Amino acid sequence: MIAKVQSAAALGMYAYPVEIEVDVTTGLPQFIVVGLPDQSIKESRERVRSAIKNSGYQFPPEKITINLAPADIKKEGPAFDLPMALGLLAATDVIPAERLAPYLFLGELALDGSLRPIKGAIVIAASLKNSKSFVVPKENAYEAAMEKDAVIHPVNSLSEVIQFLRGEKTIPPISYIDPERFLVPIEEPLNFSDVKGQHFAKRAVEIAVAGGHNLLLIGSPGSGKTMLARRIPGILPPMDFEEALTLTKIYSVAGLTNGRSVIRERPFRSPHHSISQVALVGGGPWPRPGEVSLAHGGVLFLDEFPEFKRDAIESLRSPLEDGQITISRVKMQITYPARILLVAAMNPCPCGFLSDPRRACRCSLSQIQKYKAKISGPILDRIDLHVEVPTLSYQTLASDEPAENSEAIRSRIVRYREIQSARYRDRDYNLNSLMRSRDLKQFAKPDAEGRKLMEMAMRELHLSARAYYKILKVARTIADLASEENIKSEHIAEAIQYRTLDRQW
Ligand SMILES: Nc1ncnc2c1ncn2[C@@H]1O[C@H](COP(=O)(O)OP(=O)(O)OP(=O)(O)O)[C@@H](O)[C@H]1O
Ligand SMILES: [Mg+2]
Ligand SMILES: [Zn+2]
């Protein structure tokens, strides 16, 4: 007898249905699976066999053939364990085959028959909710239930699903969870009120976040670079539900939702400098989102920036430009969102103490130059602000002077973002940092004095054309902070300060 079971597979941010046909005939005992890559077939077969036995049912000693269709799309992963086991049990009349029809089944089986979560559940729920109800492992249920109108039956084990399909047990679907409940602001544990002094660096951070400008922090060990960077997600505008849903999908595909429902904190990702290109921007035989997508809507922090592999850093160019990353494979293309604020940090020299008043730097000039030259021009191109973070004096660190908290900074950021959204309402971008060069004339035109200053800076500081555009965009943001429609020379002057590295080279 042949049984058919519906399942699905996520491919990037979308999913497609997979039909599982199970044929059990008399003959020499055999268990053939068609349509999965070799290694996963072997493992799936063992899990299905053990889970059925350990749930108290007989594994049929007959000729079993399972086909996963469509055959031409590559499938991966253990999510088909549950539907394969159910197909087998339906083909041998343990469960009534007609009861399978309204559902789509997903789940990895443990050897004892309990269910393990799968990757991409919410993506599958989003793409296929209009055709079926879903039976999914409990750990995936809350995530999938964030998708409006999806009907989700959470289950713990194979035997529970069998009871459900035989009508011996009811499993009510969990209801759609009101998104408003998930958008209550959560207490941000890391607050800017902890950061003493550093008025210059904090000002730069505010400009960076306001206009979406990527930022490079340069300072000695212990000067507070990591401390500053970690607090940035807490001053970004709160996420709306759509953004949170997108982020949840990315984490789901990466297998990182951990039984949680929607992800509502803006991410802070800080991969180690030994990270590979694939892990950073995504890829692999089954393209997974990389760090740049896991940081979507938040901060990607690259500490010890010059130590990163060159090809990894270079691969950031296109996501930084497009806000997304496309991974191409034979017959398929997967696109993941990747709109990030890049925050990089580095020491001022190889020993680290060049700018530290308390310890002497032992580096030679050529060592320092070589160190800085490790960051390539094209990637420096994408960083709008270079900021020196000085080592604070003991007096500043020990002082009790209260610092401004993140909530206050964030409410200003929200206002600066509104100014930009209004300005760019007819454009396909909404941040000063994303302004197209052709729009600079209209939106970022300095007044006469500003133009004079700009000319002088270009000449005397030997600024490149790329630095010129960066300065104008940052000056636009600085003018927005001052609620000024026109860019004045003081805004230009401040923007020039944030191009330290252009000047030193
Ligand atoms: N402005 C500050 N206000 C209060 N504490 C600070 C400040 N700057 C640094 N500190 C303290 O110093 C510690 C070290 O700072 P942090 O780790 O951010 O330095 P870093 O610049 O990232 O150093 P490294 O180059 O070693 O990574 C912080 O955890 C914090 O306790
Ligand atoms: Mg650090
Ligand atoms: Zn040094």
The Cα 52–Cα 287 span in angstroms is: 32
Backbone angles phi, psi at 258, to 5 degrees: 50, 45
Q: How confident is the model at residue 180 (pLDDT cuts 50, 70, 90)?
A: low
Backbone angles phi, psi at 176, to 5 degrees: -55, 135
- Contacting residues for 503 by C-beta, under 8 A, at least 6 apart: 461, 463
| 15, 72: one domain | yes
Instruction: Specify burial of residue 230 (Cβ count, 10 A radius: 0-12, 13-18, 19+).
Output: middle
- Mark 156-165 as b/e (b = at least 16 C-beta within 10 Å): ebbbbbbbbb
Domain count across the chain: 3
| 145, 277: one domain | no
| 147, 198: one domain | no
| 80, 29: one domain | yes
- Asked if 183 and 238 count as a contact pair (C-beta separation under 8 A), the reply is yes
> Which residue lies with its CA nearest to atom 24 of ligand 1?
221
Residue 409: CB atoms within 10 A of its CB come to 22
Please report, as a single letter, which amino acid is at residue 168: E
Query: At residue 185, does pLDDT exceed 80?
Result: no
Q: How confident is the model at residue 134 (pLDDT cuts 50, 70, 90)?
A: very high
| 420, 441: one domain | no
31 forms beta bridges with 64
The 8-class DSSP code of residue 393 comes to P
Structural domain containing residue 248: 192-426
The Cα 55–Cα 388 span in angstroms is: 63
The Cα 12–Cα 287 span in angstroms is: 7
| 247, 384: one domain | yes
20 forms beta bridges with 5, 68
> Which residue lies with its CA nearest to atom 13 of ligand 1?
222
Rounded to an integer, the average pLDDT of 162-167 is 96
29 touches ligand 1 (CB under 6 Å)? no
Rounded to an integer, the average pLDDT of 250-278 is 89
Backbone angles phi, psi at 211, to 5 degrees: -100, 0
DSSP for 412-425 reads: HHHHHHHHHHHHTT
In ligand 1, the atom with minimum distance to the C-alpha of 220 is: 25
Q: Does the bond joining 319 to the residue before it have cis omega, within 30 degrees of 0?
A: no
Q: How confident is the model at residue 285 (pLDDT cuts 50, 70, 90)?
A: confident
Tell me the CA–centroid distance for residue 305 and ligand 1, in Å: 17
* Final residue of a structural domain among 392, 426, 460: 426
Query: At residue 504, does pLDDT exceed 70?
Result: no
403 touches ligand 1 (CB under 6 Å)? no
Whichever domain contains 333, its CATH number is 3.40.50.300
Residues 13-69 pLDDT 10s: 999 999 999 999 998 999 999 887 767 788 899 999 999 999 999 999 999 999 998
Which pLDDT score, from 0 to 100, does residue 378 have?
Answer: 66
Q: Is residue 175 part of a domain?
A: no
Rounded to an integer, the average pLDDT of 71-78 is 77
* Final residue of a structural domain among 380, 408, 426: 426
DSSP for 154-168 reads: EESBHHHHHHHHTTS
The Cα 420–Cα 438 span in angstroms is: 17
Q: Which residue has the higher pLDDT, 178 or 490?
A: 490
**Of the candidates 344, 84, 89, which has an alpha carbon nearest to the alpha carbon of residue 214?**
344
Mutate to test the pocket of ligand 1, among 196, 198, 223, 273 (most ligand atoms within 8 A of CB): 223
Q: Which two tokens stand for residue 456?
A: 């002088």
Query: At residue 177, does pLDDT exceed 80?
Result: no
In ligand 1, the atom with minimum distance to the C-alpha of 219 is: 21
Q: What is the number of alpha carbons within 13 Å of residue 115 lying toward its C-beta?
A: 29
Q: Is residue 13 part of a domain?
A: yes
Q: Give alpha helix (H) positions in 295-364.
A: 310-314, 317-322
Q: How confident is the model at residue 114 (pLDDT cuts 50, 70, 90)?
A: very high
Ligand 3 being an ion, which residues bring their Cβ within 5 A of it?
A: 349, 351, 354, 361, 363
227 touches ligand 1 (CB under 6 Å)? yes
Q: Which ligand has an atom closest to residue 270 CA?
A: 2
- Contacting residues for 303 by C-beta, under 8 A, at least 6 apart: 225, 226, 229, 270, 273, 344, 345
Query: At residue 419, does pLDDT exceed 50?
Result: yes
Q: What is the mean pLDDT of the chain?
A: 90
Rounded to an integer, the average pLDDT of 68-83 is 85
- Asked if 118 and 252 count as a contact pair (C-beta separation under 8 A), the reply is no
Q: Is residue 187 part of a domain?
A: no
Please report, as a single letter, which amino acid is at residue 169: K
* Final residue of a structural domain among 385, 402, 426: 426
The Cα 79–Cα 7 span in angstroms is: 8
Residues 335-383 pLDDT 10s: 999 999 999 999 999 999 887 888 889 999 999 888 888 776 766 777 9
Query: At residue 505, does pLDDT exceed 50?
Result: no
Tell me the CA–centroid distance for residue 497 and ligand 2, in Å: 23
| 229, 152: one domain | no
Q: Which ligand has an atom closest to residue 365 CA?
A: 3
Which pLDDT score, from 0 to 100, does residue 405 have?
Answer: 94
> Strands 324-329, 332-337: parallel, antiparallel or unpaired by DSSP?
antiparallel
| 328, 445: one domain | no
Whichever domain contains 442, its CATH number is 1.10.8
Q: Is residue 184 part of a domain?
A: no
> Which residue lies with its CA nearest to atom 8 of ligand 1?
224
Q: Which two tokens stand for residue 318?
A: 């296109």
- Contacting residues for 374 by C-beta, under 8 A, at least 6 apart: 306, 307
In ligand 1, the atom with minimum distance to the C-alpha of 303 is: 27
Which pLDDT score, from 0 to 100, does residue 183 have?
Answer: 59
Whichever domain contains 81, its CATH number is 3.30.230.10
Query: At residue 495, does pLDDT exceed 90?
Result: yes
Q: Is residue 177 part of a domain?
A: no
- Asked if 214 and 433 count as a contact pair (C-beta separation under 8 A), the reply is yes
Which pLDDT score, from 0 to 100, does residue 130 have?
Answer: 86
Tell me the CA–centroid distance for residue 483 and ligand 1, in Å: 32
| 130, 267: one domain | no
Q: How confident is the model at residue 147 (pLDDT cuts 50, 70, 90)?
A: confident
| 282, 420: one domain | yes
The Cα 287–Cα 285 span in angstroms is: 6
The Cα 201–Cα 226 span in angstroms is: 12
- Asked if 81 and 22 count as a contact pair (C-beta separation under 8 A), the reply is no
The Cα 348–Cα 354 span in angstroms is: 6
pTM over 0.95: no
Rounded to an integer, the average pLDDT of 387-412 is 88
Q: How confident is the model at residue 187 (pLDDT cuts 50, 70, 90)?
A: low
**Of the candidates 246, 253, 174, which has an alpha carbon nearest to the alpha carbon of residue 9?**
253
Q: Is residue 182 part of a domain?
A: no
Q: Is residue 186 part of a domain?
A: no
- In this structure, the dihedral spanned by the alpha carbons of residues 466, 469, 475 and 481, taken in order and rounded to 10 degrees, is -100
Tell me the CA–centroid distance for residue 339 and ligand 1, in Å: 27
Q: Is residue 19 part of a domain?
A: yes
| 68, 198: one domain | no
351 Rama sector, left if φ>0, alpha if ψ -120 to 50, beta otherwise: alpha
The Cα 217–Cα 205 span in angstroms is: 9
| 20, 77: one domain | yes
